[in-house]
Amino acid sequence: MKILILGLGLIGGSLARAFRFYTKNEVDGFDPDPEAVRLAKVAGACGEAFTTMPELDGYDLIIPAAYPEANVKFLESGKIPAGKLVIDIGGIKRKICEAGFKAAEQGDFTFIGGHPMAGTQFSGFAASRENLFKGATMLLVPKEGEDPELLSKVEALFLEIGFGRIKLTDAETHDRIIAFTSQLPHVVSAAYAKSPTAREHEGFSAGSFRDLTRVAKLNEGMWSELFLEDRDYLIPEIERMAQNMLKVADALREGDTKKLTDELRVEL
């Protein structure tokens, strides 16, 4: 199989490395950033790497791995040849899948939404690595009634590069749950790290501080896109979080041990 990855950042670059390291598939990459392309070539992550979009006819699988708006723009470009398999890996699914399924029907290609449940607090190709997906879950959003044989092949492809589990879902469920499991922690971490006291942490911090501030080193441009596209689900999660924290503050203010104990008790 010949694969083209569109976007050589942390996830796209790690996919390129993984496909090259763990499989016998041919892998090329595209990124408008010359530095990302240079690093990908130096690392041997791609057979070929381009700063201008290559001809798509020669590829069996195309993976849009850019920001959501860029992925949508590509899917709606009308440039995807018939018969291709396209799997995007954007962090939201409703908008991308709506565009992807519609374009696939019009252009006679196959589209599947995807989202690797893996990452780090760092961004860019320099942070990529071939084992990023080891043991991780790969979420797939196929169209209703998608060919089971094709899905089995796609699942096998991702398991081959280290994913420990493949989970099928729909775009609505994905965006609702990901607002809580992925987006909200980034919001909380950024808010926590903005405290003036955070500048005085040296010598006073340990694991809790590291855990809470790790993802505050986010790519604010990309996460802003994700948050805005998923705001109908993210805003209620932020409000619930704020309400829960205020309940703790009230219990402390009132000196109410039982109330505080109840608020701190968590069952997962």
In the predicted model, is pLDDT for residue 11 greater than 90? yes
Answer yes or no: do 142 and 15 share one domain.
Answer: yes
CATH number, domain of 202, equals: 1.10.3660.10
Q: At which of 138, 169, 200 does a domain end?
A: 169
Any idea which of 2-11, 12-21, 121-130 has the lowest mean pLDDT? 121-130
Answer yes or no: do 28 and 96 share one domain.
Answer: yes
Q: pLDDT tens-digit profile of 91-117?
A: 999 999 999 999 999 999 999 999 999
Mean pLDDT of 42-50: 95
Share of the chain above pLDDT 90, in %: 88
In the predicted model, is pLDDT for residue 54 greater than 90? yes
Mean pLDDT of 208-227: 88
Q: At which of 113, 145, 169 does a domain end?
A: 169
In the predicted model, is pLDDT for residue 70 greater than 90? yes
Q: Which pLDDT band, with edges at 50, 70 and 90, does 255 fall under?
A: very high
In the predicted model, is pLDDT for residue 43 greater than 90? yes
Mean pLDDT of 1-12: 97
Q: Which pLDDT band, with edges at 50, 70 and 90, does 218 fall under?
A: confident
Return the ∠ at Cα 4 (arms to 117 and 2), rounded to 5°: 110
Answer yes or no: do 134 and 260 share one domain.
Answer: no
pLDDT of residue 215: 85
Q: Give the three-class secondary structure for 56.
A: coil
Model pTM? 0.92
pLDDT of residue 212: 87
Q: At which of 148, 169, 190 does a domain end?
A: 169
Provide the domain limits for residue 201. Answer: 174-264
Mean pLDDT of 231-255: 97
Answer yes or no: do 92 and 211 share one domain.
Answer: no
Answer yes or no: do 192 and 244 share one domain.
Answer: yes
pLDDT of residue 142: 98
CATH number, domain of 29, equals: 3.40.50.720
Share of the chain above pLDDT 70, in %: 100
| 198 or 77: which leads in pLDDT | 77
pLDDT of residue 64: 98
User: What is the spatial distance between Cα 181 and Cα 46, in angstroms, rounded to a whole number?
Assistant: 32
pLDDT of residue 199: 86
pLDDT of residue 267: 86
Answer yes or no: do 50 and 108 share one domain.
Answer: yes
User: What is the spatial distance between Cα 89 and Cα 199, in angstroms, rounded to a whole number?
Assistant: 35
Answer yes or no: do 164 and 49 share one domain.
Answer: yes
pLDDT of residue 121: 81
Q: pLDDT tens-digit profile of 110-159?
A: 999 999 999 888 889 999 999 999 999 999 999 999 999 999 999 999 99
- Sequence-distant (6+) residues with CB within 8 A of 7 are 30, 31, 64, 65, 66, 67, 70
Look at the chain and report how many structural domains it folds into.
2
User: What is the spatial distance between Cα 266 and Cα 244, in angstroms, rounded to a whole number?
Assistant: 12
pLDDT of residue 206: 84
Q: pLDDT tens-digit profile of 174-216?
A: 999 999 999 999 999 999 999 999 888 888 888 888 888 888 8
Answer yes or no: do 146 and 212 share one domain.
Answer: no
Helix, strand, coil shares of the chain as percentages rounded to 5? 55, 15, 35
Answer yes or no: do 162 and 180 share one domain.
Answer: no
Dihedral sign, CA of 210, 212, 217, 218?
positive
